[in-house]
Amino acid sequence: MSIRFLWFYLAKALMKVNTQDKELINLAQKLIKKRKGRYSTVAAAFRTTDHKFFFGVNVEHIHSSPCSMCAEYSAIGQMQSDDDYEVELIVALRADGTILSPCGKCREMLRQFGNPYVILKEKNDFFKVRLDKLIPYRELNK
Ligand SMILES: [Zn+2]
């Protein structure tokens, strides 16, 4: 697939975020801005189909990147601890407001918990897109 095709494919799937979606972005920003630890630079926030919120931060391992844990994994753990399983919306961001798209490992893991919208940012506009549009040829077919 060419980059041009990928952009066209994704652009058709992008949706504007609403006020409730922006609330999730604000909650994630508050979480990562209050962090004092030096091993966490990313926050993830989930809203489930039961309208519950779950949060997580990444944990970086200083000597071994593969041993680090993404913020999404941390939020999944919190969600599982509360016996909730269906994610509706997700955002991951840095303290400076940079929105991050989930890595491939997180995309595969998140697909076990529904087909949530993922918040993205293009220039100064927020958008959301279904996870299956970011990972169309996923390993897990459900
Ligand atoms: Zn990840």
Mean pLDDT, contiguous 10-residue spans, the chain (142 residues): 68 89 97 86 96 95 86 96 96 94 93 95 92 75 54
- State whether the Cα torsion 93-22-34-81 is positive or negative: negative
Distance (angstroms) between ligand 1 centre and the Cα of 73 equals 7
Distance (angstroms) between ligand 1 centre and the Cα of 3 equals 23
Distance (angstroms) between ligand 1 centre and the Cα of 74 equals 10
- The superfamily CATH assigns to domain 39-134 is Cytidine Deaminase, domain 2 (3.40.140.10)
Q: What is the DSSP string of 17-76?
A: --HHHHHHHHHHHHHHHT---TT--EEEEEEETTS-EEEEE-B--SS-GGG-B-HHHHHH
**What is the pLDDT at residue 134?**
87
Distances from the Cα of 86 to the Cαs of 63, 64, 103, 125, in angstroms? 34, 31, 19, 26
Distance (angstroms) between ligand 1 centre and the Cα of 16 equals 24
**Which residues surround the ion ligand 1 when the cut-off is CB under 5 Å?**
70, 103, 106
Sheet holding 87-94, edge to edge: 15-16, 125-130, 117-122, 87-94, 42-48, 53-57
**What is the pLDDT at residue 88?**
98
Task: Tokens for 23, please give them.
Answer: 């609330």
Distance (angstroms) between ligand 1 centre and the Cα of 93 equals 12
Pairing status of strand 42-48 against strand 53-57? antiparallel
